[in-house]
Amino acid sequence: MPLPLTWIANRLAIDRAVATGLEALRAKPPLRLSQWAEEHFYLSAESSYVEQRWTSYPFQPAIMDAMSNDAIREVTFRKSARVGYTKMLLAFVGYNAHHRRRNQALWQPTDDDSDDFCKTELEPMLRDIPVMADVFPSFLQRHKDNTLKQKKFLGSALHLRGGKAAKNFRRLTVDVAILDEIDGIDLDIEKEGAPIKLAAKRLEDATFPKLISGSTPKTKGFSHVEGREGQADKRFLFHIPCPHCGAEHPLTFGGKDAAHGFKWSGQDPESVAHLCASCGVLMTQA
């Protein structure tokens, strides 16, 4: 005897309701940050020369995967300008919100910098990456969960602050603390300590605490990022192959008294080239 249609409809409705209820418990296959970025991340028009899907440069995946590796509690990135650090941080924010659902805080040097980051980097990312809509239903809504200081996702929140005031490091409990351009922040925040110390306090109860800091270094001896680099357990340098001899070596500053590294003629910056430590042949950027 066939089952009544009403019974079938009710059963299907119950199955859908149960599936919806259990969705929150579904465990996604674990992804490294570089994998998540290749699958989902997007360069928005407001903050990129070319609007397009993310494709990593050769040196970026190792940095990104160190950020997302729970066995690594702290990552310090001493960098030059224009190497995509802010974009890697932006991908990490999206990854933590969508893939891991962890509470995070991100400090820029000033409140104005933080607001600008939110408007030109974060909000375009939330708009242009489809999967972010799954965890941020308040996007494009005037809502207390969608402000310049806080984005509340499903299962997590992101706090956005400037780093000049001690109050901006208080009353936050997070799993991930991120400091962008940390050398633009004072060495001592209103006599309460260094920004790294204040940010690390926000992680004390986290199961998998993660502290990310990075900057282009400023004055030697007064640089947060160089100081943290000097205390690191491991130090990694990206190596490139010499086009003449094939030996792999990192790019180094060089100088007139160094045996290798960047060299230039007189005062002409256009003449700069890198002297290989192995074969002694100059290599241009081209």
d(CA 185, CA 13): 55
Q: Position 181: which residue type?
A: E
* Location of structure tokens 């400091």: 179
d(CA 214, CA 258): 27
d(CA 272, CA 283): 9
Q: Position 251: which residue type?
A: L
Q: Which of 182, 193, 31 is nearest to 113 (CA)?
A: 182
Sheet strand arrangement including 176-180: 74-78, 210-215, 176-180, 104-108, 156-162, 150-153
d(CA 243, CA 252): 16
Catalytic residue among 121, 181, 226, 248: 181
Given a contact cutoff of 8 angstroms between Cβ atoms, the answer to whether 231 and 225 are in contact is no
Q: How many CB atoms lie within 10 A of CB 201?
A: 14
Beta pairing partners, 178: 106, 212
Q: Residue 137: exposed, middle, or buried by beta-carbon count in 10 A (0-12, 13-18, 19+)? A: middle
Tokens of 208: 């998998």
Active site residue 181: yes
* Phi, psi of 247, deg, nearest 5: -65, 140
* Active site amino acids: 181
